[in-house]
Amino acid sequence: MDGNPFLTEEQKQRYQRQLSIPEIGVDGQIKLGKASVLIVGLGGLGSISSYYLAAAGVGTLRIVDGDEVALNNLNRQILHSTLDLNRPKIESAAEKLHRLNPECRIEPVRARIGEDNGLDLAKGCDLILDATDNLASRHVLNRISLARQIPLIYGGINGWNGTAATFIPGKTCCFTCLFPPKDLRKLEMGIPALGPAAGVIASIQSMEALRILLGLSPKLAGRLLDFQGKEIRFRTIRLEKNPDCKLCGHTKGG
Amino acid sequence: MGHTIRIIVNGMSEEVPENATLVFLIELFKEADPALIVEHNGRFVYPQQYDATTVAENDRVEFIHPDFGG
């Protein structure tokens, strides 16, 4: 690494402990620095994934959330603190992320993602990290992922448990293959959520995001990871495209 | 429903009727959930196949309930 023109001395120190990981090194670090990630949701999952990705030196994080910090968020949404109550989450998050790593460009967007703004929000991003808390938003993210042809890393939790999967347009099944919109339940409000369950799932999503940005093969592409926190048990199952899927059923892959 | 067979459901050994379908097992084990994911002998099964899929002795079935909170 000595004399490498692409990393400053400060960067070499900041990222020292990951530069020594064979799959990363200087080249990988530079890749991360050029990458952009869209993180939708700054709650239990987004608190963790945005912090890890900023810390790891991902160049740009576009963070999207329409909510303010509420007291019942703070059992798990550890990017925010009691002092941040009633502040917009994007503002609280941008401040913490900037403090953690001023090199990381934070693009805060105060909005609820939908059909109207989704495509624009994903413009220029290499992947979408799902940190939302409902099915409807995830269907929007899926459509954006397919339209922009960028991976979607899904994660969700319930109580002690959580699930995660990576959807790669044209290669794997899509989110809608698994959960057709007819299954859309009423907006899930107040799903139980334990902090460490969000931590486990968001950490796995972050690892998957870093793999993709580094050009390594995503390990949850076409697989669903199920974490049972009460048993500390992990299962993964292989997913297949749903031939009846209205969104991606006509494209090849499996 | 004369004979019963033993299969593994979510890692536990269970006794079920011979030729039970996945639809029957979902009912039996109270796993109904619009977002349910079913794995049968390591293979993913889509809901439209639950009715036509039957289990045999020593089969493995996993029921997974995906989570959507955050």
How does pLDDT run across A137-182, given as a tens digit for each residue?
A: 999 999 999 999 999 999 999 999 999 999 999 999 999 999 888 6
pLDDT at A252: 46
DSSP assignment letter at A242: -
Pairs of CB atoms within 8 A across A/B = 74
Is residue A191 within 8 A of residue B68, CB to CB? The reply is: yes
Q: Look at the alpha carbons of B47, B50, B52, B56 in this order and tell me if their dihedral is positive or negative.
A: positive
Measured in angstroms, the CA of A244 and the nearest CA of chain B are apart by: 9
Q: Say if residue A186's pLDDT is above 60.
A: no
pLDDT at A183: 54
Q: Say if residue A207's pLDDT is above 50.
A: yes
Identify which of A141, A29, A54 has the alpha carbon closest to the alpha carbon of residue A106: A54
State the average pLDDT for chain A.
93
Alpha helices in A40-194 (DSSP H): 44-55, 89-100, 118-121, 135-148, 175-178
Whether B43 has its CB under 8 Å from any CB of chain A: the answer is yes
Q: Say if residue A187's pLDDT is above 70.
A: no
Q: Mutation test of the interface with chain B: which of A72, A138, A220, A237, choosing the one with the most B Cβ atoms within 10 A?
A: A237
Whether B70 has its CB under 8 Å from any CB of chain A: the answer is yes
Question: What gap in Å lies between CA A102 and CA A207, rounded to an integer?
Answer: 21
pLDDT at A151: 98
Is residue B14 within 8 A of residue B24, CB to CB? The reply is: no
- The residue of chain B with its CA nearest to that of A76 is B70
- The residue of chain A with its CA nearest to that of B33 is A183
Nearest by CB to residue A158, choosing from B43, B44, B67, is B67
Is residue A40 within 8 A of residue A129, CB to CB? The reply is: yes
Joined tokens for residue A40: 């939708």
Measured in angstroms, the CA of B52 and the nearest CA of chain A are apart by: 16
Does this model's pTM top 0.80?
A: yes
User: Hey, are the CB atoms on A41 and B70 less than 8 Å from each other?
Assistant: yes
pLDDT at A185: 60
% helix / strand / coil in chain B, to the nearest 5?
15, 40, 45
**Which amino acid does the sequence have at A238?**
R
Nearest by CB to residue A183, choosing from B34, B43, B69, is B34
Length of chain A: 254
- Overall average pLDDT of the B1-14 stretch: 91
| Residues A220-236: tens digit of each pLDDT | 999 999 999 999 999 99
Q: State the pairing for strand pair A105-110/A161-167.
A: unpaired
Whether B6 has its CB under 8 Å from any CB of chain A: the answer is no
Q: Decide if the complex's ipTM is over 0.90.
A: no
User: Hey, are the CB atoms on B64 and A163 less than 8 Å from each other?
Assistant: yes
- Overall average pLDDT of the B21-50 stretch: 94
Q: Say if residue A193's pLDDT is above 60.
A: yes
b/e per residue, A90-111, with b = 16+ CB within 10 A? bbbbbbbbeeebebbbbbbbee
pLDDT at B20: 97
Question: What gap in Å lies between CA A73 and CA B2, rounded to an integer?
Answer: 53
| Residues A13-70: tens digit of each pLDDT | 999 999 999 999 999 999 999 999 999 999 999 999 999 999 999 999 999 999 999 9
pLDDT at A244: 87
User: Hey, are the CB atoms on B69 and A157 less than 8 Å from each other?
Assistant: yes
Whether B12 has its CB under 8 Å from any CB of chain A: the answer is no
Strand order in the sheet with A223-228: A105-110, A60-65, A36-40, A127-130, A152-158, A161-167, A223-228, A233-238
- The residue of chain A with its CA nearest to that of B37 is A178
pLDDT at A184: 59
Is residue A205 within 8 A of residue A49, CB to CB? The reply is: yes
User: Hey, are the CB atoms on B66 and A239 less than 8 Å from each other?
Assistant: no
User: Hey, are the CB atoms on A240 and B42 less than 8 Å from each other?
Assistant: no
